[in-house]
């Protein structure tokens, strides 16, 4: 019995160090999860729908999740859950705010360019910068503010294309 007790006493400092290491790793994982879910993250972008603002592939952007959807404005780039496939995040530009009257399809490809809709309360009208290759509000209608996950802040990769995103819309009365 004494021999077992001595063995336990010798291994206790190692066990304590191991436990502290495991606790440190768990703490880091939890902090990272909270940061990603509530503050922001870096995303890889792909797809032609946002050309020329974003490339087809290989660009990395910073997303801020500290966003009040009621404070977003026309021209902001946002990431939201696709109304077609909720497991997929998409990036589009806000074209219309609640109460705005917007042209359903300014290109005339999906609907006559004379067709207009009023964006309902609690929704946005989204559009891709490359309308020909974009599946956006022209296909699935207004997007609920509840689907918005965050706002794009900047493109950080490739470094030569570093850009801080700002709204590029001007109100025309």
Can 92 be counted among the known catalytic residues? yes
How many angstroms separate the CA atoms of 23 and 11, rounded?
A: 18
Number of C-alpha atoms within 13 angstroms, CB side, residue 47? 17
Pairing of strands 123-127, 101-103: unpaired
Q: Which of 44, 49, 64, 137 is catalytic?
A: 49
Can 49 be counted among the known catalytic residues? yes
Angle among Cα 126, 129, 132 to the nearest 5 degrees reads 95
Q: Which of 46, 92, 134, 161 is catalytic?
A: 92
- Tokens 């219309």 sit on residue: 96
Sequential DSSP letters for 108-147: SSSS-TT-EEEPPTTEEEEE-SSGGG--SHHHH--EEGGG
Do 145 and 124 contact (CB within 8 A), yes or no?
yes
Do 36 and 126 contact (CB within 8 A), yes or no?
no
- Residues catalogued as catalytic: 49, 92
């Amino acid at each position: 019995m004494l021999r077992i007790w001595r063995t336990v006493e010798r291994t206790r400092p190692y066990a304590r160090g191991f436990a502290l290491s495991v606790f440190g790793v768990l703490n880091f994982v939890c902090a990272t999860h909270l940061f990603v879910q509530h503050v922001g993250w870096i995303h890889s972008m792909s797809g032609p729908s946002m050309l020329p603002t974003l490339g087809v592939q290989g660009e990395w952007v910073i997303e801020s999740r500290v966003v009040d959807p009621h404070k977003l404005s026309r021209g902001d780039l946002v990431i939201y859950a696709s109304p077609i496939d909720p497991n997929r995040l998409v990036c589009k530009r806000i074209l219309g705010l609640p109460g705005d009257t917007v042209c359903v399809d300014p290109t005339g490809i999906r609907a006559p360019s004379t067709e207009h809709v009023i964006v309902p309360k609690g929704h946005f009208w989204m559009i891709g910068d490359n309308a020909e290759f974009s599946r956006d509000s022209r296909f699935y209608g207004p997007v609920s503010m509840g689907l918005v996950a965050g706002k794009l802040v900047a493109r950080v990769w490739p470094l030569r294309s570093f850009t801080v995103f700002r709204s590029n819309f001007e109100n025309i009365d």
